Amino acid sequence: MRNVNRTHEIFDNKPHVYSAELTDTYGGEANYSWVKRAEISFDENYTDRQLMLRVKAELGLTGVRCEVDDFGDSLTIRPRGLLQIAFVNFNY
């Protein structure tokens, strides 16, 4: 698991933008029979925890425990007890 207190600093005065999508799974893989998409932006410095809270709120997962895999520039979120998966990618 990653350090949730890592701070992302904005140096170039441009907001950091993330795209997130939540979909169902079939056999443990993303199925895309339905998709909920959101775009999240930060205008000031933020931590990994703030990013996760904002993504979960936008996708309707507030209060749901999740398993998170961090791949550096993207995250995979698997809500516990739900047959769903979310992908969060940094927009360059």
Q: How many CB atoms lie within 10 A of CB 58?
A: 19
Residue 41 pairs in a beta bridge with 17
SS3 58: helix
pTM over 0.75: yes
- Which of 59, 40, 48 shows the shortest CA–CA distance to 2? 48
- Which of 90, 11, 80, 12 shows the shortest CA–CA distance to 48? 90
Write the pLDDT tens digit of every residue in 10-56: 676 678 899 999 999 999 999 999 999 999 998 888 888 899 999 99
